[in-house]
Chain A
Amino acid sequence: MAAGVGKTVRMLDEARVELEAGRDVVIGLLETHGREETARRAEGLEQLPRRRLTYRGTTFEDLDVPAVLVRAPELCLIDELAHTNAPGLERAKRYEDIEVIRDAGIDVLSTMNVQHLESLNDTIAELSGVRVRETVPDSVLQRADEIVLVDVTPEALLDRLRAGKVYPLERIDTALNNFFRVENLSALRETALRQVAEDVEERRFTVDEPLGTREERVAAGAPQAVGERLLALVEPYPGAQRLVRRAWRSSQRLSAPLDLLWVAPPGGPADEEQERALHALRQLGSVLGSALLVEEGEDVAQTVARVAEERGITYVLMGASRPARGLARLREPLPQRIVRLAPGVDVRIVADRARLRANREIRT
C-alpha cells in the first residue's frame, strides 16, 4: 500500500515460517531503511552480500543476481520489486532480475507499493498529487503465484510515522505535509484493496474455466464474480453521452469498472457526424477511465453476449430503443434477446429523463 505499512516485515515473517517448515531460504536483498524493527526480524536468516559496482567514480550496491543463482536456494527474498538497478548492471529493473531468478527455478518473495503498478500510476498520481517514477508492468504481478495485501488503516500508519518508525525524525514533517495525508493514504488503501480483490476474482475465474462456458457455469450454479463489471451499449450520436454518464455513475456506486461498446454495422461510421460523435465518445471514455470497444457485427445481441462473456460483464446498460415499426415489431426486443443470450447478466434500460420531461410539456 505505502511505505511503512510493514511489507518487508511481513515478507520476513513469511520467510521464517517457510524456514521453520524446512525450506532453504535466503535473503537476496533487504532494504531496512534504517528501521531497527525490520533489521531484528531478519536475524537468523541467511543474507547474501550485495554486489558492489563502481560506475563513473561512484560505488553502488545492488542485488547480486549471479550470487543468488550460484547459491540456488529454494526461496529467495528480494525487497523492492519496483527498484531501478544501479547503472552498469545487466538489467535496468529489479523485476527483470527476479524474472531471471525465477526462470532458474528459485521461488521469490518480493514487495511493492500499489502506486508502483503501471496501470494505477496515473490514477494515484491524480488522486495524491505525487507522481511515482518507478513502475512495474501489470504483467509482472499477473505472473505472481500469490499476492498478499499488507493493510493498515491510514490513522495507524500516520501514528507509526509520527513515532519515527517509518522515516528518520528530520523527514517526518516533510512526509506529513506531502504524501502522508489521510486522504492520500485512504485512496491508496482503497486502490490496493480493490486491486487485490480483482486479482482474487481473476484467479477464481481461471479456476472455474474447466467447467466450460459462462452459460454452463451459471447452469451448474458455479460461483460468480464477487465484483461487478458494467458494459454500456452506445451508438455514436449525441444522446449516447448521457447514457455513458449514467453508466459511469452506476459504476461509481458499485465500485466497478465500466466498458463502453458500440456494435458497428459493417463498414464503420456512416458519415462525418457519426465519426465526430464516436470521437467524442472515445474522449469521454478515456477521461472516465473506460475503454470504448468497437465491434463490427450484424447481430447486436449476439455481439453483446460475446463481449459480456469475454470480459466478465455482470451488468449491461442500454438506452431505450426507438419504437419498432412494421415487421420489426414481430422481432424479439433487444433487451430480451440479450437476457436470453447472456444468462447471468443483468440488463438495465436507462430512461431518458429529458425526453420524459419534454413529453409531459407537450401533453400540458
Chain B
Amino acid sequence: MTVLIVLLAALAALAIGLAAGRWWAPRHRQVRAARPDAVRRILLPLTGASISRRAFDAAVRLAGVEHATLMPCYLATVPLYLPLEASLPVQCLRAMPLLETIEQRASAQGVAVDARVVRGRTYRDALRRMLDDEHFDRVIVSATNHPDMGFRGDDLVWLLRRADAEVLILRPAPEDHREVVATVAGHF
C-alpha cells in the first residue's frame, strides 16, 4: 500500500513538473531572445541600404534552428581622406534603419540579435576587421550579379580563405530583387 502511495505521489509530481515546464517554456524562450547566451554566432554582413530577402530568410531560419545569435553587421566604408575613426553620419542614415528593421523582424521570429557597425577602407577591409575582432561560427553572404553592389567574386574567394568559420554563400537567383529594406515598425 505504501509503495502504491509513493508511486502515485511520484507520478503526480512528474505531472506537475511537466505542466509547469510547458507553462514556463514560452517565457524562457522570450528571455533567451532578449538576452542571448551567444552559444553560436551567425554573421550577416550588410553593405547597402537593403539586403537580399533570401540571405535574410536563410540567416533567420538557421539562427532559429540552431538557437544562434544573428549578428547583422553593417560594413561602413571610410574614404581615404578621412581618418578611419571618423563619424559617418551619411552612412548611418542608411545603416540604422536597416539594422532596426532586421532586428525587429528577426526578434519577431524568436531569434536573438546582436548588431554591429564596423568601418574599413573597403567592404572587404571592414569585414576583415570584424573577423579579427570577434569569433563567428558561420558567415552568410549573398553573391550578386550587380558589379557595384555588395561583395564581388574576388571578395567571396577572399572570405572563403580568410574566415575561420563556415561560410554560406547564396548564389544569385532571379528572386534576388526581393529585398529587406528599411521599413521599421513604429516610430524609429
A residues at B contact (CB < 8 Å): 122-123, 125-127, 129, 131, 237-239, 241-242, 245-246, 248-249, 252, 273, 276-277, 279-280, 283-284, 286-289, 351-355, 357-359, 361-362
Contacts and interface: CB of A to CB of B under 8 A. Distances in A.
Interface string B11-52: 000000000000000110010011110100000000000000
Contact size class for B? 35 or more
A248 B96 contact: yes
B117 A122 contact: no
B104 A355 contact: no
Interface of B: 26-27, 30, 33-36, 38, 69, 76, 79, 81-83, 85-93, 95-96, 99-100, 103-104, 107-108, 110, 112-119, 133-134, 185-186, 188
Contacts of A276: 134
B133 A279 contact: yes
Given A131-B82, A238-B115, 20 more contacts: A125-B79, A125-B82, A126-B87, A126-B89, A126-B90, A127-B90, A238-B112, A241-B103, A249-B188, A252-B93, A286-B87, A287-B87, A287-B119, A351-B186, A353-B186, A354-B104, A355-B33, A355-B34, A358-B108, A362-B27
Contacts of A241: 99, 103, 114-116
Contacts of B116: 241, 280, 283-284
A283 B119 CA distance: 9
A54 B168 CA distance: 65
A181 to B, nearest CB: 15
Nearest to B38: A273
Nearest to B71: A238
Most chain A CB neighbours (cut-off 10 Å) among B34, B112, B119: B34
27 contacts: A122-B83, A122-B87, A123-B86, A125-B79, A125-B81, A125-B82, A126-B79, A126-B87, A127-B89, A238-B35, A238-B36, A238-B115, A239-B35, A241-B99, A241-B116, A242-B103, A245-B188, A248-B96, A249-B188, A283-B116, A283-B118, A283-B119, A287-B91, A287-B92, A354-B33, A355-B30, A362-B27
B33 to A, nearest CB: 6
A-side interface mostly: helix
Contact of A358 (B82, B86, B110, B118): B110
Contacts of B103: 241-242, 354
A353 B114 CA distance: 15
Contacts of B188: 245-246, 249
A354 B60 CA distance: 15
Contacts of B117: 283-284, 287
A323 to B, nearest CB: 12
A359 B93 CA distance: 30
Contacts of A273: 38
B-side interface mostly: mixed
B99 A289 contact: no
B99 A245 contact: yes
- 4 cross-chain pairs, A with B, having the tightest CB-CB distances, nearest first: A354-B107, A289-B87, A238-B114, A131-B81
A286 B89 contact: no
Most chain B CB neighbours (cut-off 10 Å) among A123, A252, A283, A351: A283
Contacts of A127: 89-90
A289 B89 contact: yes
A126 B133 contact: no
A123 B35 contact: no
Nearest to A241: B115
Contacts of B35: 237-239
A125 B79 CA distance: 9
Nearest to A238: B114
Contacts of B88: 126, 287
Contacts of A352: 34
A242 B34 CA distance: 11
